[in-house]
Structure 1
Amino acid sequence: MSILDNFSLKGKVALVTGASYGIGFAIAEGYAKAGATIVFNDINQELVNKGLKAYEEAGITAYGYVCDVTNEEQVNDMVKEIENEVGVIDILVNNAGIIKRIPMCDMTAAEFRQVIDIDLNGPFIVSKAVIPSMIKKGHGKIINICSMMSELGRETVSAYAAAKGGLKMLTKNIASEYGEFNIQCNGVGPGYIATPQTAPLREEGHPFNSFIIAKTPAARWGEPDDLVGPAVFLASDASNFVNGHILYVDGGILAYIGKQPQ
């Protein structure tokens, strides 16, 4: 057997939440190329349809479901549907999330709770829904999309940093609680990634663009495809003894103190 066979996802069912576009779509596309069957959800039918069209254009057969990851009943119903229509979920990527860039003292408690609900409670709810069948099947992979804000703070992201810090510890706790059932739970922590949402910040001359490039040893923004290899590794048999780990894909930002001012 080739060592590359350990990275194959052939015959696996992968649920990537919120994967109609962006980072989730890139990871799901990579999983499909590695042989997995792709299932995804989004908050409304319009986004699900957008995702289905994008997968079709990429030559991928994907199954889309409307589901709010913060609604436990909806999540449980979706997981049952997936098991009946596609198969038991082998790989879960908790990708769905939001960020609200609001100074802490200007943020309402309701806004803070919304971010915590989607970015932290959502992964808890979806993981809890898939773990029982993973235990019965004898294996499972859960990958949580964490963040550099799992480690660092920054202005205007108090709720996001709190949620992603909590998600890091949820990752470690799932690994601790269910590792004996051959379930591995790890996280991917993206750095600053070039997506449509960050396009205005990446314009030439924008101070934030200059700041990120100066703070990153790779001297560039990441691309969604930079996350695919690490995500495939954590979903594959190649990572069967990797558990409770957060793999930061940040071009070296967390290792770097930054350039000395001129």
Structure 2
Amino acid sequence: MNPFDLTGRKAAVTGGNGGIGLGMARGLARAGADVAILGRNPDKTRAAAEAIAAEFHVRAVPILADLGVAAQCASAAEQAAEALGGLDILINNAGINIRRLPQEMTEEQWRDVLEVNLTGVFLLTKAAYPFLKAGGKGKVILIGSMTSIFGSSFAPAYAATKGAVVQLAKSLALAWAPDHIQVNAILPGWYDTDLTYKAREEIAGLHERVLARIPQGRWGKPEDIAGTAVWLASAASDYVTGIAVPVDGGYSAML
């Protein structure tokens, strides 16, 4: 048997309608999983689900949810499990960033980032727990960042949440090991997406500085992260839990 085969498995991917979230959702579907795409934009979320279903011939359903709203986190997990007939895999990828120097960031902006990137991640993962436990072999993947390792002068709230996500993954891994649920984190490096395009517009010289540090000599593409997501979602990683894996072209290995 192929330990990377996800046929018959049921996955939910938050922020799966674009960028690296879509890259991971496509990777799971290519490996055979049915996928629920969770997102805030109805047209974009529906289009992503339809495209995945058509290309990979799996069941793909759109679920509308704002993970900055606590009540919607619980309902999103329930909707995904109901639509797919259970839930085996959760990739908690959705996040926001507000780029401000610490002294310029308001309390409201700070709280907005924490609500989505940390509180929303916790609440949705907690809401998914009964379904993951019921299946007997649950997989949770939380998405951190290079700022889980390094600080960021222009994104202090984002960096704080992404550091906390790694500790949350470790804590959930310990708590849920008896339930046969593995919890791990992926730390993406710099990927060529709409979000980083905006960052490159706002921060002079960012593109060149990042590129100069990546040993592989290029920014990542969404499909570059799919293989790691499939590995952590599959039986191939059944003895792996509580780790954080950089997928960054070697960025974090550089001095």
What interval of TM-score do these two structures reach, taking the shorter chain for normalisation? over 0.9
Residue 24 (structure 2) aligns with? 27
Counterpart in the other structure of 2:148: 150
Alignment of 1:59-208 (within 5 A): 59=56, 61-199=59-197, 207-208=205-206
- Bigger mean CA deviation after superposition, 21-30 or 55-64: 55-64
Distance 1:201 1:42, change over 3 A: closer
1:7 aligns with 2:14: no
Residue pair 1:31, 1:38 contacting (<8 A) in 2 also: yes
Q: Within 1, Cα distance between the matches of 2:47 and 2:81?
A: 23
Classify the secondary structure of the residue corresponding to 1:7.
Answer: coil
**Superposition pairs of residues 42-57 of structure 1, within 5 angstroms:** 42-55=39-52
Match of 2:37 in 1: 40
The corresponding residue for 1:211 is 209
Identity %: 36
User: Within 2, Cα distance between the matches of 1:245 and 1:174?
Assistant: 11
Larger radius of gyration: 1
How many angstroms apart in 1 are the aligned matches of 2:68 and 2:233? 24
Give the drift of 1:34: 0.0
Distance (Å, rounded) in 1 between the aligned partners of 2:82 and 2:220: 37
Q: Which amino acid aligns with 2:110?
A: F
Q: 2:233 aligns with which of 228, 232, 235?
A: 235
Aligned 8 A contact 2:187 2:244 in 1 = yes
Give the 3 Å change call, closer, same or farther, for CA 122–176 of structure 1 in structure 2.
same
> C-alpha separation between the residues in 2 aligned to 1:58 and 1:106?
45
Consecutive unaligned residues of structure 1, counting only runs of 5 or more, are: 258-262
Q: In structure 2, do the counterparts of structure 1 residues 73 and 208 end up closer, same or farther at CA, with 3 Å as the change threshold? A: closer
Q: Is the 8 A contact 1:142 1:185 kept in 2?
A: yes
Q: CA RMSD in A?
A: 1.8
Letter in 2 for 1:46: D
1:92 corresponds to which letter in structure 2? L
1:225 equivalent in structure 2: 223
Task: Verify: 1:256 aligned to 2:242, yes or no.
Answer: no
Tell me what 1:260 maps to: none
SS at match of 1:80: helix
The number of residue pairs the alignment matches comes to: 252
The offset of 1:180, in angstroms, is 1.4
| Structure 2: gaps of 5 or more residues | none
Which amino acid letter does the alignment assign opposite residue 46 of structure 2? N
More moved, 132-141 vs 242-251: 132-141
Q: 1:90 to 1:254 in 2, by over 3 A?
A: same
Distance 2:163 2:71 in 1: 26
1:70–1:125 contact (8 Å) kept in structure 2: no
